[in-house]
Chains A and B, each alone.
Chain A
Amino acid sequence: MIHSLFLINASGDIFLEKHWKSVVSRSVCDYFFEAQERASEAENVPPVIPTPHHYLLSVYRHKIFFVAVIQSEVPPLFVIEFLHRVVDTFQDYFGSTNVGDQLPTGQLSVVPWRRTGVKYTNNEAYFDVIEEIDAIIDKSGSTITAEIQGVIDACVKLTGMPDLTLSFMNPRLLDDVSFHPCVRFKRWESERILSFIPPDGNFRLLSYHVSAQNLVAIPVYIKHNISFRDSSSLGRFEITVGPKQTMGKTVEGVMVTSQMPKGVLNMTLTPSQGTHIFDPVTKLLSWDVGKINPQKLPSLKGSVSLQAGTSKPDENPTINLQFKIQQLAISGLKVNRLDMYGEKYKPFKGIKYMTKAGKFQVRT
């Protein structure tokens, strides 16, 4: 399994190392640096790099490479998934001030994911149903692919060993699910009820995919007119964002980003609302739109100046969209009820819904 672990920061320094077996020299990371150089971008460093005596498996998160050194056959996902968990744990741990180091008591609990003797004065359980729309919209505005991925994140602060059941009004919407290990799988299989003893604190109860048969409502549209002319070194740029199927809710937190072709020198744009930035080095345009007011649609218009002398770019940029809609699960998923067994007190319960853009792209 994992022999050693090296943490490498953005400037290429190994700032932390840990060895589980005998020490492996840092120099093994040179192979990693080579691959990094070849890859040009961090995200293109191959997660698995063979070297003469070792295999380097890495994940890249928070601008840090976590490089595991392996000596023999192991399922690569085993290591990669583990490294991501390590990062998650780091995040949790360094995020909080609670630095209570204890022996791993969880291992010995009846329920391995929950410590014993949990006590709260205010007992509360909050569940966030968050859905993301992944979509590719083509040039003409029609949907090429759209799907909804959802998660239920929970923050449960309950005394003792509560046993919860959560049921849905329309569980059939859930096509493909994956659970936190606390969820009783058989119960779900037979009754479509989530039955579980929750871990203490924050955790992801469930991730799901909404079945493809259900048509996905696309809450926003983008009208775009981007053209580069061959004759002049100027191009036209105009986009408008508008609400589509929003179920009467406000679309907010709208953010438009687009990677411009290399030939673009600068952009002179005026937004009807919000702020925009064009970075002439990375050629990234981003426009923080904010809320969409259906009466007055936000737009961004202006001209694009191109490198003189070169021909117009072949490609039109894709537009990436972010947005949020509060109090709406776009799939229509609804929690029916939450019940608690095993403890006497009455907890405070809360459910929140939210819809967000996932990987939402508009091709132009």
Chain B
Amino acid sequence: MAASPAYGEEKGGSSSLGEPEYGHDPASGGIFSSDYKRHDDLKEMLDSNKDSLKLEAMKRIVAMIARGKNASDLFPAVVKNVACKNIEVKKLVYVYLVRYAEEQQDLALLSISTFQRGLKDPNQLIRASALRVLSSIRVPIIVPIMMLAIKEAASDMSPYVRKTAAHAIPKLYSLDSDQKDQLIEVIEKLLADKTTLVAGSVVMAFEEVCPERIDLIHKNYRKLCNLLIDVEEWGQVVIINMLTRYARTQFLSPNQNESLLEESAEKAFYGSEEEDAKDAKAEVASLAKRKPYVMDPDHRLLLRNTKPLLQSRNAAVVMAVAQLYFHLAPKAEVGVIAKALVRLLRSHSEVQYVVLQNVATMSIKRRGMFEPYLKSFYIRSTDPTQIKILKLEVLTNLANETNISTILREFQTYIRSMDKDFVAATIQAIGRCATNIGKVRDTCLNGLVQLLSNRDELVVAESVVVIKKLLQMQPAQHSEIIKHMAKLTDNIQVPMARASILWLIGEYCEHVPKIAPDVLRKMAKSFTNEEDIVKLQVINLAAKLYLTNSKQSKLLTQYVLNLAKYDQNYDIRDRARFIRQLIVPTEKSGALNKYAKKLFLAQKPAPILESSFKDRDHFQLGSLSHLLNTKAVGYQELPDWPDEAPDPSVRNVEVPEWTKCTSREKRKEKVEKPFYSDSEGESGPTESADSEPESVSEESGSSSSSGSSSSSSDEEEEEEEEEEGSGELSEDKEEEEKRPKRKEKEGSRKAAPGSAGSPSEEEEEEEGAKKAKKKKAPQGRKGHAETSSEEASASESSSSGSNSGSEAEAKRRKAPPSSRTGPKEISLLDLDDCDHPPPPQPVPSSSIVSTSLVTDLEGLTLTDTSLAPALLSPTFGAVRTYELLHRMAGEGLSVEYCFSRRPFPGDPHMVAVQIQISNNTDAEVKSLRVSEPKPLSGMRIQEFPEIERLAPGDTASVVMGIDFCDSTQAANFQLCTHTRHFYVSIQPPVGELMAPVFMSENEFKKEQEHLTRPGEGKLTGMSEITEKLTLPEKCRSDHAIVQQVTSAANVGRVPCGADNEYRFAAKTVTSGSLVLITLERREGTTAQLTVNSEKMVIGTMLVKDIVQALAQ
């Protein structure tokens, strides 16, 4: 092709089509061959009326191009067919044009009008392909036409065409960078697009044209985060990489506070001083500010929404998420990426190669993360050498005191490999382990010395080099080894090894006073035949010996220096001259001569053997630059975290714009989407989710009335869920039952859509709850053994309940919603994320409130008393006990449990479970404990402290905490004694997954309204469950009803004006979603029970449970 444009095409056309033709073959395709005649038949075919002939001709031509043959002379004949009706022919003509238009610009212009017509075609596919070709033909004269076409396509109805417009942007930009400003306008417009189809492509254009315009991302940030999971794989990679950079400029480092806690452990060997300094600086800064770190909800949103993509089948996506976590996540959370990266090691060797490079860098900074997967890096004889060496690197990085013996045993097998490059690398790895882990230094050294008698010279040579480095660390103890190595000079030929030995002997000649001169003698003899590096070391050795033992070596030194003086290599001649002047005293040699010994035999620091991957993480991981360890063209630096967070409100999106956009899509047909929702014809996922305009306006209306504008991302999430729900409603019953469970999980994971109306209000409650729990903590601990504490707590709760009614109101009046957190919407996003609850803060005494809490509460101007009752203490109702382990199954050990309904001290998201263990055997049971909890994803178990011994007949009572993630799934774990383990599981009744919450009648109504707002469309049905029931005789008094309800569920009573109504409220423990219960008595014995909650499953199950309780 390009190399041989004139005579590239040899046999040409038809005859050569089927058979392979390789490379340049000047012999077969000379200038004198009949190429042009051959092409005549193609021209004829192209001119014919039959599409089949044209197609055949075009196929041949395209095949020629693919093989790199020149087909440019056919341009006029081909371009004529650009308007051909046959779509197959047309496509191939396009392929041809894209290849040759640049070379034949004038002729190419003939085709432009066809494309311009194509741009107006009613078929979106044709519009898109016309734009694609138009933007690919690289003819500068048509830049204005391209610009116009792109602008128009960017407002096209079809997202597919808009996507193509996004693709065209970088092409135009590379053709004419003066168009940048106009292109940025288009990019800005397309960034606002809400379809998944466009998102990836426009971010790609953004990265190529204006990566520095980070401000364009602000308004689209949340949308991009939320669309991410539905974007096609390649787009995901681009978006994730861009968002990593974005996050580094907009959020604060999540690890700034941790530097106080974590110490040397992580940095044992590799911790760079630089990093320490940096950490220290951050520490000082954070101390100065005295502002505890709170992760920006948008930062959390990004982490949360990218995490599922670790499960992608696409290695590039997994790597992108991994690097995002590495660069952005709090240290404690980075670990999740290890498993996914290890999985990629099963993939093609090229993928392994790239992944291992990144793992090597990560494993230096975060060793602990990969340690559990140590064995996944074991080397197989069938691995390609480059993979072996990278695995070795990782293994070496992972080596520490505890696993070093295992690793060294592995290394021993590697030493015997047939792959000698790999063996050499293993020897170096052993050297690195030896320098890093003092414990095994001698073992390693001995092992290496044994290798000196290996038959393979390369192995010996490598060992010598490594031993030399090790000996430098403690030469005095190893003169035996030095002697041994001195003998090797007779046999070993590898220059580097010989040079190393000579250096060693010279350096430590005092340890081997007898051998050293002898070695010099031998080397003097063979001097002329040595390699240059060896010669240099011979001179070195001679000089050192001359200084320490001139009696024996004076003549030898002279001899060597004389030889060197006439060496062919000027370095060696220079060295000889220099050394002679320095060491041999003459009248001229002045001051320096006195210091010769100091110069030559100075204490030299031992070399540090460190990984070549150290500090590579200043490049963004997963990037080409990281892999090459040099900055690649177009690499965007990963910025450092800012010291102070830029204004987070820039990411807020105004509501009017939102409604405007959605109303644009009003006409969109409502399609029942079975999926995450992906692009469908003209409408994207979010668009169709918004397709009910009233709901949107209603939403904005109501939220503004409650004093806050809800964020777009929030709405999107909510609606996405809603839409999924609607998709499945049509499915059969069984499905419907499963479905809510899933929803509930989602809800708890996301948490965002969970909380209702006004965010600040909820936050207050949350805070109040925290505080209340803290107050409760000591009490709970004191009272857990006794079951008769109900009464006390009951009276307490009722009194506190009545107090707090007015106080809560007062509280709200005092503290305007916006007073504490700047922009309100942000708090909406991510108040209580069940994945990452606030770190447990066990506070032993009620008078102490943690400092962070104090700061949190600053500006709320609240008195302590008003905080207390927001979360009510356990209400009455008999505490039911459940059996955990029957005495038969437990071989005499019986275990029962009950839900004490007290806040679990230390973690407000856990349900406290009181466990009563009785020893019915006649032997003492020792070390009773929980082991190997295997919680489902998200579930967490806080074990009770080990019971050391339980005497026969005795009973012990302990409390453990379980975060059920608002689901009734059982928590499984093992109960162990010193002899046995029992598999047990605790399944919570739905009523125990919540904690009572206080609210006034008005608040209750407001919340209920919020949950059931008609505008929410489908959600009404989802968040309200109603059931009619008949009250049995004994259950008609107020007292009995309240008692039955509160025994079935841990809820608090809400005061109610009407006589025939009972109201209760609670919040789920994990995600804090409201659960509202209304029981309305009708005439006679009938009643209606209504439960409002976004947690469908919880609602449904709760209704069942309460109905059952009341029917008893």
Q: Which residues of A contact B (CB under 8 A)?
A: 1, 9, 11, 13-19, 21-23, 25-27, 41, 43-44, 46-48, 50, 55, 58-61, 70-78, 80-82, 84, 101, 103, 105, 107-112, 136, 138, 144-145, 147, 149, 161, 163, 172, 175-181, 184-187, 189-191, 193, 197, 204, 207, 209, 259, 261-262, 311, 314-318, 320, 341-342, 359, 361, 363
- Could you tell me the distance between the alpha carbons of A316 and B138 in the complex, rounded to whole angstroms? 60
Say yes or no: B1 contacts A23, CB within 8 Å. Answer: yes
The answer to whether B456 and A177 have CB atoms under 8 Å apart is: no
* Docked complex Cα distance between A100 and B624 (Å): 37
* Complex-state Cα separation, A17 to B731, whole angstroms: 50
Q: Which residues of B contact A17 (CB under 8 A)?
A: 1, 66-68
Given known A-B contacts A101-B88, A103-B87, A136-B378, A315 and B354 have beta carbons under 8 A apart: no
Q: Are B313 and A55 in contact (CB under 8 A)?
A: no
B237, B627, B674: the one contacting A163 at CB < 8 Å is B674
- 17 additional A-B pairs beyond A48-B628, A55-B628, beta carbons within 8 Å, are A17-B68, A25-B3, A41-B384, A43-B349, A48-B624, A50-B630, A55-B632, A75-B316, A109-B680, A177-B311, A178-B318, A178-B343, A186-B308, A189-B937, A341-B735, A342-B674, A359-B382
Is the beta-carbon distance between B138 and A262 smaller than 8 angstroms? no
Q: Is the CB of B354 within 8 A of A76?
A: yes
For B372-388 the 0/1 string (1 means CB < 8 A from A) is 00011010111011100
CB of A263 to closest CB in B, whole Å: 10
B350 A80 Cβ-Cβ under 8 A: yes
In the complex with contacts A13-B23, A74-B624, A189-B308, A108-B160 CB distance below 8 A: yes
Residue of B nearest to A167 (CB): B738
Would A22 and B348 be within 8 Å (CB), given that A71-B633, A112-B232 are in contact? no
A interface footprint on B285-309 (CB within 8 Å = 1, 0 otherwise): 0000000000000000000000010
* A73 and B625 in contact, given A110-B678, A185-B311 (Cβ under 8 angstroms): yes
Q: Are A181 and B22 also in contact (CB < 8 A) when A101-B91, A107-B160 are?
A: no
Residue in B313, B673, B745, B934 whose CB lies within 8 Å of A204: B313
Query: Inside 8 A of A261's CB, which chain B residues have their CB?
Result: 418
Contact mask B616-638 → A, CB, 8 Å, 1/0? Answer: 00000011110110101111100
Nearest chain A CB to B229 CB, angstrom units: 7
CB distance A75 to B312 under 8 Å? no
Question: Counting CB contacts under 8 A, is B528 at the interface?
Answer: no
- Kindly list chain B residues whose C-beta atoms are within 8 Å of the C-beta of A61: 348
Residue contact B378 to A145, C-beta cutoff 8 Å: yes
A187 to B745, CA, bound (A): 9
Contact indicator per residue, chain B 1-19, by CB within 8 Å of chain A (1) or not (0): 1110000000000000000
Cα–Cα distance between A14 and B731 once the two chains are bound (Å) = 55
Can you name the residue of chain A whose Cβ is closest to the Cβ of B406?
A144
Contacts of A19 in B (CB 8 A): 99
Which residue on A lies nearest to B100, using beta carbons? A23
Interface status of B1048 (Cβ within 8 A of chain A) = no
A112 touches B678 (CB 8 A): yes
Q: Are A176 and B343 in contact (CB under 8 A)?
A: yes
Asked whether B853 is an interface residue with its Cβ less than 8 Å from the other chain, the reply is: no
Asked whether B340 is an interface residue with its Cβ less than 8 Å from the other chain, the reply is yes
Q: How far is the CB of B940 from chain A (nearest CB, A)?
A: 16
The yes or no answer to B233 lying at the interface (CB within 8 A) is yes
Q: Digitize B326-352: 1 where CB-to-A-CB distance is under 8 Å, 0 elsewhere.
A: 000000000000011001001011110
A108 touches B678 (CB 8 A): no
B68 contacts which of A22, A26, A101, A359 (Cβ < 8 Å)? A26
Asked if B681 and A186 make an inter-chain contact with CB atoms under 8 angstroms apart, the answer reads no
B416 touches A314 (CB 8 A): yes
Q: B348 contacts which chain A residues (CB < 8 A)?
A: 59, 61, 80, 84
How far in angstroms is the closest Cβ of chain A from B451?
10
Q: How far is the CA of A209 from the CA of B344 in the complex (A)?
A: 11
Indicate if B533 sits at the interface (CB-CB under 8 A).
no
Greatest chain A CB density within 10 A among B23, B312, B349, B380 is at B380
Give every chain B residue within 8 A of A105 (Cβ-Cβ).
125
| Whole-angstrom CA separation of A181 from B233 in the bound complex | 8
11 A-B pairs within 8 Å (CB atoms) are namely A17-B1, A47-B349, A72-B633, A75-B316, A77-B316, A81-B315, A81-B351, A172-B934, A184-B676, A189-B937, A261-B418
Those 8 A-B pairs whose CB atoms lie nearest each other, nearest first: A72-B634, A13-B22, A190-B745, A190-B742, A43-B384, A145-B375, A47-B350, A73-B635
In the bound complex, CA of A147 to CA of B386 (Å): 23
B residues in contact (CB < 8 Å) with A: 1-3, 20-23, 66-68, 87-88, 91, 99, 102, 124-125, 129, 138, 160, 171, 174, 197, 204, 229, 232-234, 237, 241, 308, 311-316, 318-320, 339-340, 343, 346, 348-351, 353-355, 375-376, 378, 380-382, 384-386, 410, 413, 416-418, 454-456, 622-625, 627-628, 630, 632-636, 671, 673-676, 678-681, 724, 731-732, 735, 738, 741-746, 749, 934, 937
By the criterion CB–CB under 8 Å, are A311 and B455 in contact?
yes
Question: In the assembled complex, which residues on chain B have CB atoms less than 8 Å from the CB atom of A75?
Answer: 237, 241, 316, 319-320, 622-624
Chain B residues within 8 Å of A163, by CB: 674
Residues on the A chain within 8 Å of B174, using CB: 21
The docked-state distance in angstroms from the alpha carbon of A207 to that of B340 is 12
| Chain B nearest CB, measured from A230 CB (Å) | 11
Determine the distance from Cα of A27 to Cα of B2 in the docked complex, in whole angstroms: 9
Contacts of A1 in B (CB 8 A): 204
Contact A161 B674 (CB under 8 A): yes
- For B2, the closest partner residue in chain A by CB is A25
B632 and A72 contact, CB distance less than 8 A: yes
Q: Which residue of A is nearest B63, CB measured?
A: A16
Are B350 and A59 closer than 8 Å at their CB atoms?
yes
Interface centre among B350, B354, B385, B671 (most CB of A within 10 A): B350
Please name the residue on chain A nearest to B174 by beta carbon: A21
Given contacts A112-B679, A186-B742, contact A176 B349 (CB under 8 A): no
Cα A80 to Cα B21 with chains together (Å) = 27
Q: Determine how close the nearest CB of chain B comes to the CB of A110; give it in whole angstroms.
A: 4
Query: Contacts of A23 on B, CB cut-off 8 Å?
Result: 1-2, 99
Is the Cβ of B418 less than 8 Å from the Cβ of A108? Answer: no
Q: How far is the CB of B185 from chain A (nearest CB, A)?
A: 23
A314 to B418, CA, bound (A): 9
Q: Tell me if B314 and A16 are in contact (CB < 8 A).
A: no
Q: Are A73 and B636 in contact (CB under 8 A)?
A: yes
State how many angstroms separate the Cβ of A88 from the closest Cβ of chain B.
11
Cross-chain contact B742 with A179 (CB below 8 angstroms): no
Beyond A44-B386, A82-B234, A110-B680, whether A197 also contacts B674 by CB under 8 A is yes
Contacts of A18 in B (CB 8 A): 66
> In the complex, A197→B308 CA distance in Å?
19
Chain B nearest CB from A177 CB (Å) reads 6
Flag if A185 contacts B229 (CB, 8 Å).
yes
B746 adjacent to A186 (CB under 8 Å) = yes
**Contact call A190/B340, Cβ cutoff below 8 A:** no
Report whether B311 and A179 are in contact in the complex, using a CB–CB cutoff of 8 Å.
yes
CA distance A306 to B348 in the complex (A): 36
For B410, the chain A residues whose CB sits under 8 A away are: 144
A44 touches B680 (CB 8 A): no
Bound CA span A342–B87, Å: 34
Given contact pairs A74-B624, A77-B319, A184 touches B633 in the complex (Cβ within 8 A): no
Q: Are B675 and A50 in contact (CB under 8 A)?
A: no
List the B side residues contacting A41 at CB < 8 Å: 384-385
The smallest beta-carbon distance between A165 and chain B, in angstroms, is 8
Complex contact B102–A22 (CB within 8 A): yes
CB distance from B833 to the nearest CB of A (A): 15
B679 near A315: Cβ-Cβ < 8 Å? no
Q: Name the residue among A22, A48, A77, A82 with the largest chain B CB count within 10 angstroms.
A: A77
Given known pairs A17-B1, A72-B633, A75-B319, the reply for A184 and B675 (CB within 8 Å) is yes
Task: Please report the C-alpha to C-alpha distance between residue A108 and residue B355 in the assembled complex, in whole angstroms.
Answer: 34
In the complex, which residues of chain B have a beta carbon less than 8 angstroms from the beta carbon of A27? 3
Residue of B125, B632, B675 touching A73 (CB-CB under 8 A): B632
Chain A residues lying within 8 Å of B346, measured Cβ to Cβ, are 149, 207
Residues on the B chain within 8 Å of A14, using CB: 22-23, 68
By a CB distance below 8 angstroms, the chain B residues around A317 are 418
A84 to chain B, nearest CB (A): 6
